[in-house]
Structure formats: structure tokens, C-alpha cells
Copies of this chain bind each other. A is one copy, B any other.
Amino acid sequence: MTEHVGQGGFCCASHSGTANVQAILDLAEARAKDRRVRLTPVRRRTLEILLQAHGALGAYEVLERLAAEGFGSQPPVAYRALNFLVENGMAHRIRRLNAFTACAHPSEDHRAAFLICESCDSVTEAQAGAVNTALSAAADAAGFVLDRATIEAVGLCRACQRAQA
């Protein structure tokens, strides 16, 4: 798709800095214990890779890094780890970018919305409480039982607005 994925200079406040990465990894460990699932080395490392990327990474980009560190080198290795993280609320899949990003707020059982910058491909996780309330209402009106939703907005991030001004 695009070679910019994961390369945006953007870095959101919520998971920048080594300290925060560590904190989120700890949260993930705890969450895994809670749910009786195992945060194995590949899975943990995959989460770290996403956290360090400060943006969304394609599965093959993640795979490349895993392979370089001695993990398996074939696509299912990355997809399995990524799917595990998504299923357990530790990462999100950004369909518009065919990419994945670490969850910035892993402790809350939130339903997220993503703000994707067209210019730098950065991805910000937005608070989507009101959006989901409205969506639930719309689903209700249609007699539809809502399970989960993907909300992806495309536009210009703050940094790129400045760059263009």
C-alpha cells in the first residue's frame, strides 16, 4: 500500500517514552493473567514493536522485525501474534491502512475511534464514548444488535496542519 506506514514523525502523548512502554507492557501482562491467556515471547515482543513504532505497522513490517530477532519468518507468525493482541484488547487493527497499532489505553474496556492522518499516516486513538453511544442508537433504530465497531476517520493531524500552514 504505502511505504509511509509507521514512519510518520508523529508521536502521540499516550505511549511515548520508554517508561510508558514498560507500563503498558506491565498492564498487558496483568491483563493476560486476568484472562488466563499467555503473553508469550513472540506476543510480548510484537506488542513492544507496535509500542515502539508510535504508529501503525503492517503485518509484514512486524514480521521483518520478529524474524530479525530470531522468531519465525513466515507470515502466520506475525498474524497470529497480532490477532492475539487484537482479540485481547492490547492492539487494534486499522483496516484502512492494512496495519496494526498498540492500544493506547489498554486498561479501559473502551471502543476506540482512530484518527488517521492522510499526510503522515500517523494514527491517534480518540475517545469515542459519544460516538459509540450515537452508533448504538443508530443500530437500535435499524433493529440491529451491535457487537463491535470500526471507526476510522481520515484527515490531517495537528502536526501536518502546521506543516502545511
Closest to A131 in B: B134
B151 touches A139 (CB 8 A): no
B138 touches A161 (CB 8 A): no
Number of interface residues of A (CB under 8 A): 37
A124-156 residues with Cβ-Cβ distance < 8 A to B are 124, 126-128, 130-131, 133-135, 137-139, 141-156
How far is A109 from B95 in the complex, measured between Cα atoms in Å? 24
Say yes or no for A118: interface residue by CB 8 A criterion.
yes
How far is A151 from B118 in the complex, measured between Cα atoms in Å? 17
**Residues in B neighbouring A115, C-beta threshold 8 A:** 138-139, 142, 144, 146
**Residues in B neighbouring A148, C-beta threshold 8 A:** 153-155
